[in-house]
Amino acid sequence: MANERVWKEGLVAGVLGAGAVALWFLILDLLAGAPLATPALLGRTLFSVLGKGIDWTPSAYVAAYTIFHVAAFVVVGIIVRAVVEASESIPGVLAGLLLFFVIFELGSYYITAFLSQPETMGRLSWWRVGVANLIAAVVMGWYLWHGHPELKSRFSRALVGQS
């Protein structure tokens, strides 16, 4: 039963995170007068890395990237929810989750900086991705924190090294 709950809550957390990021980029794109430009750019870049010669319409890139984006966030949501489950018996894994978050954030900034060369994703700046990641983390974290009020005491014990 707990396993089913991990999958369901991880799925919901991932969809919420993906939706929050998509909404952030949609707002920025609308303000720039180019709706859906960011997912089209990310889709084109993703498929240029995965295979040369793919040339789709912007809407096909948006659709393909959206599927990839949601799937990636669902995987992250399930992993984070599994860590929450594991923290019931080993609270210290929550400190590892915090470390993972910091490493993931730094990695995403470096990848964005690398890919933000004019020939690939010059329009996408590190701060846009950074804010998107923080929004997703807050939304997903709030959902899981709200559903598991005991996390506060587990997290406190994990940070001070108590089991």
What pLDDT, in 10s, does the model give residues 123-153? 667 778 888 989 999 999 999 999 998 888 8
CA proximity to 23, closest of 112, 119, 138: 138
pLDDT in the model for residue 103: 84
pLDDT in the model for residue 91: 79
- Residue for token digits 């018996």? 89
Residues 16, 141: Cα–Cα separation, whole Å: 10
- For 7, 61, 85, 88, 122, the CA distances from 2, given in Å and listed in that order, are 9, 37, 8, 12, 44
- Contact (CB, 8 A) for 96 and 73: no
Q: Which residues of the chain have pLDDT under 70?
A: 1-2, 51-53, 111-124, 162-163
Q: Which two tokens stand for residue 142?
A: 């709030």
Residues 156, 102: Cα–Cα separation, whole Å: 18
pLDDT in the model for residue 115: 59
